[in-house]
Amino acid sequence: MDQKEVLRRVDHTLLAPTATWEQVKAVCDEGRDLGVASVCIPPRYVKKASDYLGNGLKICTVVGFPNGYATPEVKVFEAEDAIRDGADEIDMVINQGLAKEGDWEGVLAEIKAVKESCKGRILKVIIEACNFTYEEKLSLCRVVSMSGADFIKTSTGFAAGGATVEDVRLLREHVSPDVRVKAAGGIRTFEQAQAMLDAGADRIGSSALASLSK
């Protein structure tokens, strides 16, 4: 797969806490020029980016980010607010504490509530794979498969570890066929991105690949 094909599967990402509008605008310009799948930006800038881009590029933003421990009601509000501002895709972080407790019904209910609030937009569910055991990841695959979400996503990029080929392969093997896989966190080269795609990823989250294509 050549670089252009890889970039078509990339969410070009800028989620740094210090991100300014000028930096976000530059990411939007790069994303539009390179034909990426979307730009993934902080909620604060979604409305401004939507007005700037028009229909030229899909906008993704985050909910419950990066720790996931907000209440379901807050996550639903965040998703609804982002969609009103023009977001096309939502990446939400699960409540990791509920998952650690084995409260899979609680995790499922939260994801379903956010999915309903997305009003047909794409929802990606971030499980923060580095924080969970193999068995817990299997349970998360089952929950996400039952939830109606569109993607299961490996990582926020803000935890101790990011995407691994092994995790991508595990997620692909154990989520239902209609759920896609997004690999994110630490993907800084086209070789790494290609390895994730080969392992079963459908989408790549990265802040670095666009600059490498110049």
Helices marked H in the chain — which ranges?
Answer: 3-7, 21-34, 46-53, 72-85, 96-101, 104-117, 134-147, 165-174, 190-199, 209-212
Per annotation, catalytic residue among 85, 91, 150, 167: 91
Per annotation, catalytic residue among 75, 115, 124, 182: 182
- Concatenated DSSP letters of 73-92: HHHHHHHHHHHHHT-SEEEE
Angle of the 104-117 helix axis to the 72-85 helix axis, nearest 10: 20
Q: How far apart (Å, rounded) are the C-alpha atoms in residues 145 and 136? A: 14
Per annotation, catalytic residue among 75, 124, 137, 153: 153
Q: How far apart (Å, rounded) are the C-alpha atoms in residues 48 and 27? A: 13
Are 168 and 134 contacting, i.e. CB atoms less than 8 angstroms apart? no
119 belongs to the catalytic site: no
91 belongs to the catalytic site: yes
What residues are annotated to the active site? 91, 153, 182
